[in-house]
Amino acid sequence: MTRHNFKAAIISAAVVIALTGLLMGVRLSQSGGGLIVTGAGPDVYWKIAAAALFMFLFNLFRDQLDGLWRALPGIPKSPAGLTAVTEKPVVRRLFWCFLIAAALIWPFYADRGGTDLATLVLIYIMLGLGLNIVVGLAGLLDLGYVGFYAVGAYTYALLAMYFDIGFWPGLFAAGAMAALFGFLLGFPVLRLRGDYLAIVTLGFGEIIRILLNNMTWLTSGPNGIGGIPKPTLFGLEFSRRASDGMQTFHEFFGIEYSSVHRVMFLYFLALVLVLITLYVINRLLRMPVGRAWEALREDEIACRSLGINPTAVKLNAFTIGATFAGFAGCFFAARQGFISPESFTFIESAIILAIVVLGGMGSQVGVILAAIIMTLLPEVARQFDEYRMLLFGLLMVLMMIWRPQGLLPMKRPHLELRT
């Protein structure tokens, strides 16, 4: 117990008292025309005192606590033999097969709610994988990713509203539109780096949302767009009664109508989209452009000296990432049937980014795992809804302390030279 610790302990206790004393210990209440200051109940004071005491003791015995902490056996590192096994291509392939098989049979075992939730998870996986290209692979911090998601969703919704475009052409239009926006934004922005890039993309995400909110003549503003058509399976609808000139799924196959069919279909559709995304990213990683992304992240000057155009390569990442957000947005719009700018706030960007960081930048299994955690946690802990952001923050801080590289850090496939 050093003098230094004692001083720090006193200061932290004082800070706790000063802050919580004002924030929680004093209340304003209205009496007649004015406000009067009243003290809170004694229980609040006790809590404040307890908190101050806790901080005092914590800082006083900080060194000892750190020692104890270090003495605890850390999270066991996976043994070398195990990592060697998990890195074998056969094992990896088996793992993916199991994962896909589990995803395929899931809706037959889960109830309607479970399938619906899984669909939501899949949307976040897709968004996470898309942002992973930009942040994890190309190393460009994009805080406005939700903007492209919104572009995709609104592209489909507007096309459906004004031109009666179906889901499938809408999907391509949404992807193309989001890609175009990614490209257009990327042009001026990619000269910036690090924090500056983050701020500009953050602004972009907000601009999109505010535009959608205010262009009432086109998007009906905060009222949103409803009645967005659901996806069809080769022209078969998933409704009780077919609309003009259409056929429904249950009529075609001669089975009883069940609303579960649609939920399952949406789930499988999302699954297919995710699998396509995974395939594309896996190819990208093994393509020259994937290597260029990593090289650019490591040393931009060396890249330039070797004839790589940094702007073009970054633009590539930005555009591809945006395309996946566009697909996800279109699917989201079709699934919800109703969208409004509310769905595309900054918090959404933050969640997607949290998924990428939590999972381990650049890692695909990590993103999947993190997307599951980030989507399921709020559902499981519904009663703590108010503390959701607090929990997110806590989770992030803990992650940065224990596993700054993410849950499952990326292992990039290396091309090997065989001689």
Partner 1 sequence: MSAIQPLLDVSSLTMRFGGLLAVDGVELKIMPQQIVSMIGPNGAGKTTVFNCLTGFYKPSAGRILFRGEDIQGLPGFKVARRGMVRTFQHVRLFKEMSVVENLLVAQHHNMNTSMLAGLFKTRAFRRSENEAMERAAYWLERVNLLEFANRKANTLAYGQQRRLEIARCMVTQPTLLMLDEPAAGLNPRETEDLKELIAELRNTHKLTILLIEHDMKLVMSISDRIVVINQGCPLAEGTPEEIRQNPDVIKAYLGET
Residues that bind partner 1 (CB under 8 A): 280, 283-284, 286-289, 291-292, 294-295, 298-299, 301-310, 414-417, 419
Helix H or strand E encompassing 34? strand 34-39
Query: What's the closest the beta carbon of residue 330 comes to partner 1, in angstroms?
Result: 20
Nearer Cβ to partner 1, position 244 or 416?
A: 416
Instruction: Please say which residue, 208 or 284, places its beta carbon nearer to partner 1.
Output: 284
Residue tagged 């699998």 (tokens):
275
Minimum gap (Å) between residue 22 Cβ and partner 1: 49
Smallest separation (angstroms) from partner 1 to the CB of 170: 22
Q: How many other β-carbons are positioned within 10 Å of the β-carbon of residue 328?
A: 31
Task: Rank residues 166 and 310 by Cβ distance to partner 1 and give the closer one.
Answer: 310
* Nearest distance from C-beta of residue 299 to partner 1, angstroms: 5
Q: Is 44 exposed, middle or buried (0-12, 13-18, 19+ CB in 10 A)?
A: middle
Residue 111 CB, nearest distance to partner 1 (Å)? 37
| DSSP 3-state of 297 | helix
Closest CB to partner 1 among 66 and 298? 298
By beta-carbon proximity to partner 1, the closer residue of 248 and 316 is 316
CB of 178 to partner 1, least distance (A): 16
Q: Which is nearer to partner 1, 70 or 418 (CB)?
A: 418
Other C-beta atoms closer than 10 Å to the C-beta of 347 total 12
* Bridge partners, residue 28, by sequence: 37
Residues 6+ apart with CB under 8 A from 324: 126, 127, 129, 130, 133, 175, 277
Pick from 267, 279, 258: nearest CA to 231: 267
Q: In sequence order, which ranges of 110-193 are alpha helices (DSSP H)?
A: 112-132, 145-163, 167-189
DSSP single-letter state for residue 236: E
